[in-house]
Structure 1
Amino acid sequence: MRATSSWASTPDLSRGRLHEEQSGTVRGPRDAFQRDRDRIIHSISFRRLRHKTQVFMAPDGDHFRVRLTHSLEVAQIGRTVARALGLNEDLTEALCLAHDIGHPPFGHAGEDALEAALAGRGGFDHNGHTLRTLTELDRPYPSWNGLNLTWETLEGLAKHNGPIAAPEWALAAADAQFPLELDRWPSLEAQVAALADDIAYDNHDIDDGLRAGLLSLDQLMQVPMIAEGWRRVEAKFPGVPARRLIGELIRSQIGEMVNDLIASTQARLAESGVETPADVRAAGRCLVTFSEAMREAERGLKRFMYANLYHHPNQMAAAEAAHGVVAGLFAAYAADPAQMPAEWREALPAEEPWRGRHIADFIAGMTDRYAIARYQEVVGPIALPEGF
């Protein structure tokens, strides 16, 4: 659906792509942002998300979320909000689908291991690696590296969480190649994608935590917004067993947060006086926001989730094992690059920091299960926590 507001991003006014493309290569009647979305969906890096950690590492249950399903859920929420605000849905969807492409195996545990491995070489940041993957490492086209996405998509991925004063090396390299105005706020579509991500994982991680038995309903009642939502659900469906109401709780809470975000953003846009995408970038502040009450409630939920799920002893044990896998792989490949696949071994730079960064590029692209298999191959057996 085309955007209906003056402050929406417009594909016809895109700042273009780094590499000029001949019009005769366009396949199908799609605009620039639709093509970006489709390039992301068809990319190898997007497909690999189906075997990368969301919350539970290398989950042995079919019903837990992974990076791929999370990204799809973010995209659904993002499109809903974008439509209500009259924004460009295709750009919003592209940003939502691609926002986690730079995550290494095992989520934040893998990221911490690569950050440590690249100490003194610039470190590792999954957001910067998203840009590196989409502008350099994915190579489906014969004439250039990367997917050659539009400026608006790259800008939104670089700074969907806000301006960046000190970009790390991967993001700085992407910015040097195609300047992204990192010191300014991004489009409204990018701001929507950021909060759609929060809404998705705030709620779906509850669902997965309950499914895994690491959270209980009694624990969740400590969170005021959840307790209030649970009372509404029980009143609406009296006598229905609790296990049948969990899905309704999650759905209703997502709805509450989406409706609050839309109403609060509409009011903020009205008082801001912005009329164009350029006005949005010059506003000097985030314009897509929750109300103050919802913001505080959401922060309380996050604090609960960190204390009771993300830092649960089972999760910490899994994170420690995952950190060991990634760190062990990096050490093994650094000591003996001959163990890397031929295409990666043959392209290995001779000098640091690029030599270490190249090894990290290879590891960051791995799925959880591929990383475990390669560890067992080049390092040796590893004892993984139950359910890993």
Structure 2
Amino acid sequence: MARAPYASDPAHSRGREFTIEGSLSRGPRSDYQRDRDRIIHSIAFRRLRYKTQVFVAPDGDHYRVRLTHSLEVAQIARVIARAMNLDEDLAEALALAHDIGHAPFGHAGEDALNAALVHAGGFDHNAQSLRTLMRLESPYCEHDGLNLTWETLEGLAKHNGPVLDPGWALTELDAAYNLDLGSHASLEAQVAALSDDIAYDNHDIDDGLRAGFLNLDEVLAHPFVAQQWAAVEKRYPGVPRNRQLSELIRSQIGVMVNDLLEESARRLVGITSVDEVRQAGRQLIAFSPEVEEGERAFKRFMYEKLYFHPEQLETARRARALLAELYSAYSQDPVLMDEEWIDTLPRHEPERSRHIADYIAGMTDRFAIARHAEIYERTPEVLRNV
């Protein structure tokens, strides 16, 4: 398959932060394939299995978690990248790693750590993804971190566009290895970002209905999905409703992917290199104005009906309280942490507080719940909403 002139090329990568002399070649892989494999084999990636996507520590086996969501994003990203003759492996690596920096309990956990670190620069899950991959996850003898390519790190840092006001974590990493934060990222990074939107816009419908938090009639009447729902009913009359809903979600994903391909092709006219992508002054992977407007309206609907559902808000409150108490416990008595974290605890602030936050951010939902119960010798308020 011919590579588009504006696609990232592993043969012309800007390299890695740490150059290892005489490094072994383990199989016929490109640099971006190696990045993908390093991410998949990391402990941080495995922990996504027990981190919140929409629902905290769900009882049901069919609900999505950060790991399954990341796999779904990667599948969509590969489809788009292949259709556009971009580098599929880079798009996949970015999709798989995009949520690695999330704390337990999703955005509620992020809010708790941000509040706990208010004196130390705050906490941001996107910067934490970079911090985890570049410094904390260190399985190699020669260097800290996974030593991913510049293109993978850059894509994770600014997949949503240039970062003009980076927080402390991203500032430190950028000072050590310049990620050119003021420019746009590669097309592969932009593909991964919108694949994330496509995945959760549609798959969260499934989980929200399964949990009983979404009203089926309200979902199906929303303008963003109503046309596809009418087409599904016409095409499959009399088919059980659960199968029709699955068909709706597949159809809606297809509509969004096809629209993105058409709009992006229009925006890429005249773009002839990766450098032109980075200096374009706007995101080149995008939905049409009509689909973008509909998608934003649907997001507002989902926030009102699902993400800000009263039960969700109550669970988030409990999650924030639990992590705040964990942070307080470790701050007052750091020996409660695992031994390797005690041994590397900095003596001075703000590094000391950030180290404790790194420890908590790496926890899974269930590990955080278990450690809280162990430290406080009481069962925390129920942290399960489905």
Report the Cα offset of residue 345 of structure 1: 1.0
Q: Do 1:3 and 1:89's aligned partners in 2 also have CA atoms closer than 8 Å?
A: no
Q: Do 2:58 and 2:384's aligned partners in 1 also have CA atoms closer than 8 Å?
A: no
* Residue identity opposite 1:381 in structure 2: T
**C-alpha distance in 2 between matches for 1:179 and 1:386:** 41
- Matching residue of 1:143: 142
Q: Do 1:138 and 1:145's aligned partners in 2 also have CA atoms closer than 8 Å?
A: yes
Q: Check 1:279–1:314 CA distance in 2 against 1; reply closer, same or farther (3 A cut).
A: same
Report the Cα offset of residue 382 of structure 1: 1.2
**C-alpha distance in 2 between matches for 1:364 and 1:298:** 30
- Matching residue of 2:216: 217
Report the Cα offset of residue 23 of structure 1: 4.5
- Matching residue of 2:297: 300
Structure 1 residue ranges, 4+ long, deviating more than 2 angstroms after superposition: 21-24, 385-388
Q: Do 1:3 and 1:83's aligned partners in 2 also have CA atoms closer than 8 Å?
A: no
Q: Check 1:3–1:97 CA distance in 2 against 1; reply closer, same or farther (3 A cut).
A: farther
* Residue identity opposite 1:345 in structure 2: I
- Matching residue of 1:74: 73
2:285 counterpart of 1:288? yes
* Residue identity opposite 2:381 in structure 1: A
- Matching residue of 1:275: 272
Q: Do 1:3 and 1:87's aligned partners in 2 also have CA atoms closer than 8 Å?
A: no
- Matching residue of 1:381: 379
- Matching residue of 1:239: 238
* Residue identity opposite 1:341 in structure 2: D
**C-alpha distance in 1 between matches for 2:233 and 2:35:** 43
Deviations 1:88-146 (A, max 9, x none): 00000000000000001000000000000000100000000000000000010011110
Report the Cα offset of residue 216 of structure 1: 2.1
2:337 counterpart of 1:360? no
- Matching residue of 1:206: 205
Give me the TM-score of the superposition, normalised by structure 1: 0.97
User: Which consecutive residues of structure 2, in runs of 5 or more, have no partner in the other structure?
Assistant: none
**C-alpha distance in 1 between matches for 2:21 and 2:315:** 49
2:308 counterpart of 1:311? yes
1:105-120 aligned at under 5 Å gives the runs 105-120=104-119
* Residue identity opposite 2:355 in structure 1: H
Q: Do 1:223 and 1:300's aligned partners in 2 also have CA atoms closer than 8 Å?
A: no
Per mean C-alpha deviation after superposition, the further-off stretch among 50-59 and 3-12 is: 3-12
After superposition, the CA RMSD in angstroms is 1.1
Report the Cα offset of residue 241 of structure 1: 2.4
**C-alpha distance in 1 between matches for 2:171 and 2:383:** 38
* Residue identity opposite 2:204 in structure 1: D
* Residue identity opposite 1:278 in structure 2: D
- Matching residue of 2:321: 324
Report the Cα offset of residue 3 of structure 1: 5.7
**C-alpha distance in 2 between matches for 1:219 and 1:348:** 51
Report the Cα offset of residue 385 of structure 1: 5.0
1:104-183 aligned at under 5 Å gives the runs 104-183=103-182
- Percent identical residues: 60
Q: Check 1:181–1:24 CA distance in 2 against 1; reply closer, same or farther (3 A cut).
A: closer
Report the Cα offset of residue 381 of structure 1: 2.2
Q: Secondary structure, in 3 states, of the residue corresponding to 1:316?
A: helix
- Matching residue of 2:249: 250
* Residue identity opposite 2:379 in structure 1: P
* Residue identity opposite 1:384 in structure 2: V
User: Which consecutive residues of structure 1, in runs of 5 or more, have no partner in the other structure?
Assistant: none
**C-alpha distance in 1 between matches for 2:89 and 2:24:** 20
Q: Do 2:78 and 2:91's aligned partners in 1 also have CA atoms closer than 8 Å?
A: yes
Report the Cα offset of residue 386 of structure 1: 5.3
- Matching residue of 2:98: 99
2:27 counterpart of 1:28? yes
Per mean C-alpha deviation after superposition, the further-off stretch among 147-156 and 221-230 is: 221-230
* Residue identity opposite 1:68 in structure 2: L
**C-alpha distance in 2 between matches for 1:75 and 1:191:** 13
Q: Do 2:56 and 2:383's aligned partners in 1 also have CA atoms closer than 8 Å?
A: no
- From 369, 373, 379, the equivalent of 1:372 is 369
Report the Cα offset of residue 244 of structure 1: 2.1
Q: Check 1:3–1:148 CA distance in 2 against 1; reply closer, same or farther (3 A cut).
A: farther
- How many residues in Structure 1 have an aligned counterpart in Structure 2? 385
**C-alpha distance in 2 between matches for 1:332 and 1:37:** 36
* Residue identity opposite 2:233 in structure 1: E
**C-alpha distance in 2 between matches for 1:155 and 1:327:** 31
Q: Secondary structure, in 3 states, of the residue corresponding to 2:268?
A: helix
Give me the TM-score of the superposition, normalised by structure 2: 0.98
Per mean C-alpha deviation after superposition, the further-off stretch among 221-230 and 72-81 is: 221-230
Report the Cα offset of residue 24 of structure 1: 4.2
Q: Secondary structure, in 3 states, of the residue corresponding to 1:25?
A: coil
**C-alpha distance in 1 between matches for 2:210 and 2:165:** 40
